[in-house]
Structure 1
Amino acid sequence: MGEQTTYYAIFDADSSPERPLGVFRRVKTDEGQTDEVFSRNLRWEFSPLLYSAERGDTMYDFTPISTEEANQIVNRMRARAEVGE
């Protein structure tokens, strides 16, 4: 199978498609899958959020997005961190 990565924009009641809350990725390999969020520490870190949403926790919404869209969100988060937002 190799590696397959799916990206998601994360939304809550206060976010929008133009300014999602964050970005999430699910990486599937022959060994299993790993779920990660791009954190405030500006790195990919394990997160159970998507797994929880799949089991009925509706605190956040996840919308599949392209790799390019995910990169744009990550770059915006990095830029905001640089200016101290």
Structure 2
Amino acid sequence: MNQVRDNKSQHRFELDVEGAVAFANYRLAPGSVIITHTETPPALRGRGIASKLVQGALEMIRADGLKVVAGCGFVVDYLQKHPEFADLVA
């Protein structure tokens, strides 16, 4: 599976899968990234792709020394299930 990338021009993290794109929209705030919406194409749902996308996004946010604000339910749920990212929660 491809790597998650930060499409800065569209303010979203993206993951290419089988010719489609799963994405997580974000807004920047001082010292943090607010993930506002995640979307996986219907044909790709139920396969862990959104989790891979969010994991990659969180790793990039950590590498940039920023915090994350979960602005959508999927990210809230992901963070609850993955305490290894608790240090990123603003």
Q: Which has the higher contact order (CA 8 A, sep 6+)?
A: 1
Please give the TM-score of this superposition, normalised by the length of structure 2.
0.30
Bigger Rg, which one: 1
TM normalised by structure 1 equals 0.31
